[in-house]
Amino acid sequence: MLTFILNPDHEIPLYQQLYSFIRKEIETGRLRPGEKLTSKRKLAAHLKISQNTVATAYEQLAAEGYIISKPKSGYYVAVLEDMLPDIPETPPEEIIQAVEKPDREQWLYDFKTNTVDANFFPFPTWAKISREILHNRNRNLLRAVDPRGYYPLRKAIADYVHQYRGVNCTPEQIIIGAGSEYLLGLAVQLLGRKSRYAVENPNYNKVYKVIKSNGADVSLMSLDDDGVSVESLKHSEAEILHLTPSHQFPLGIVMPVGRRMALLKWALESPDRYILEDDYDSEFRFSGRPIPALQGLDTADKVIYFNTFTRSLAPSMRISYMILPERLLHSYCEDFSFYSSTVPRFEQHTLHQFMEGGHFERHLSRMRKIYKVRRNKMLACIRSLPMADKIEITGENAGLHLLLKFEPPYTEKALVEHAKAAGIRVYGLSEYYIEPEARMPRNVIVMGYASFTEEEIESAVALLGHAWSAIN
């Protein structure tokens, strides 16, 4: 006879506790097919519960096919075909931990490069615009937006990139999407998966992965002091080049005009050649005149331009845009118009009014000043380190990170490990190489600083100096 401890104070009803117990006995084979179950009366008396409780549990088991009722005989275990093995139940806490497992350890300081300071996001202004949009009860908010994006926002973007980045385009050429990865994937589909692509090495690993995941072949381009060379590009036999000419990530190279013109000439040599210009991080330049985008030099419709608001506003602001040459626009509209816009219309309306009201430009101006102060603090603190005479700083004039190149005995491995022991995350340049190269430096650290206050920068760099002093 089944013996099972029932808990009358439990939130699960008694009949369900009994049902679950018997079901598990059947599924694990402890109650075999054809075996007769104890009568309702005897089992109720044995477990000190009512017959109705037993009857309800039996009826549920019968309804699900675990047992069968034979008139004037009782209940029997059914023959279950293809019984699945019993799989241990994973506690909910373990599931949550698996899903929410952090992708990194908890650090005292993390010099990652993909953050901004959210404390300065203009929440009151953004909220005011959002409320006004909702208050106006514009029914268009509930309608599908143009697959290319909300037209007034595209016009605002066209005006902005022309004024500040020297980009020449019409609103019709702009495609708005949720993230540059999504838009890059569309570009690969548009240009063709059978084409060979070339990407900078080192670079964002995501660029390489997006292109590869679309089934295209990818060549890795080593960089000289000016970026990708035409000679290496020709040797690769690539037709499409992905490029970050205004501020190469992570090396910080600003491609000179001569090299840009040479690459545009390369693109002109074949009708199938195009350049994918990623202008990420171009908003933050701290010395010298702003460097116009490569697209502004293009007079033959050979450049597809990408940019995003994740750096200028917030990483969670998944609004990016792609500017297609007019020669590709017809093909895009004909073959890809079935794609819906991936950015909610409400967010597009809000960003449009944010830009139209001049708030975006004011926010950028404010953040440039804040980040320049932090950059200067970083430079001062690094130059005061005990090993400062062993460090060459590069990439500090633009973007929100810089590179430290060390002389012996300092190696990337030792620098990263000693920093880790002090609870600080720094990044070796080798982490940004898609594939290792023979010429790849083993003594360079990449450090982002945007999310730190001046006080945090001073404290973190001081701790690094102490940790790195132990390297010999």
109-115+363-468 against 122-360: fold identical: no
175 vs 326: CA distance, rounded Å = 12
**What is the 3-state secondary structure of 418-457?**
HHHHCCEECEEHHHHCCCCCCCCCCCEEEEECCCCCHHHH
Buried b (16+ CB within 10 A) or exposed e, 40-73: beebbeebebeeebbebbbebbeeeebbeeeeee
For the structural domain made of 122-360, what CATH number should be given? 3.40.640.10
Nearest residue to 265 via CA among 239, 302, 238 = 302
**What is the pTM for the complete model shown?**
0.78
Under 8 Å between Cβ of 211 and 197? yes
The count of other CB atoms within 10 Å of the CB of residue 432 is 20
Question: What is the CATH class of 14-77?
Answer: mainly alpha
pLDDT, one tens digit per residue, over 71-102 is 888 999 998 765 555 555 556 665 555 555 45
pLDDT, one tens digit per residue, over 196-220 is 999 999 998 899 999 999 999 999 9
Query: How far, CA to CA in Å, does 25 sit from each of 1, 30, 61, 457, 463?
Result: 12, 5, 12, 61, 60
The CATH architecture of the domain made up of 109-115+363-468 is Alpha-Beta Complex (3.90)
What is the chain's pLDDT, residue by residue, as a tens digit (472 residues)? 677 778 888 888 889 999 999 998 888 888 889 999 999 999 888 888 899 999 999 999 988 888 999 988 899 999 876 555 555 555 666 555 555 545 455 899 999 998 888 889 999 999 999 999 888 777 778 888 889 999 999 999 999 999 999 999 999 999 999 999 999 999 999 999 999 999 999 998 899 999 999 999 999 999 999 999 999 999 999 999 999 999 899 999 989 999 999 999 999 999 999 999 999 878 888 876 777 899 999 999 999 999 999 888 888 888 999 999 999 999 999 998 888 889 999 999 999 999 999 999 999 999 999 999 999 999 999 999 999 999 999 988 888 999 999 999 999 999 999 999 999 999 999 999 988 776 678 899 999 999 999 999 999 999 999 999 998 7
- Sequence spans of domains, the chain: 14-77, 109-115+363-468, 122-360
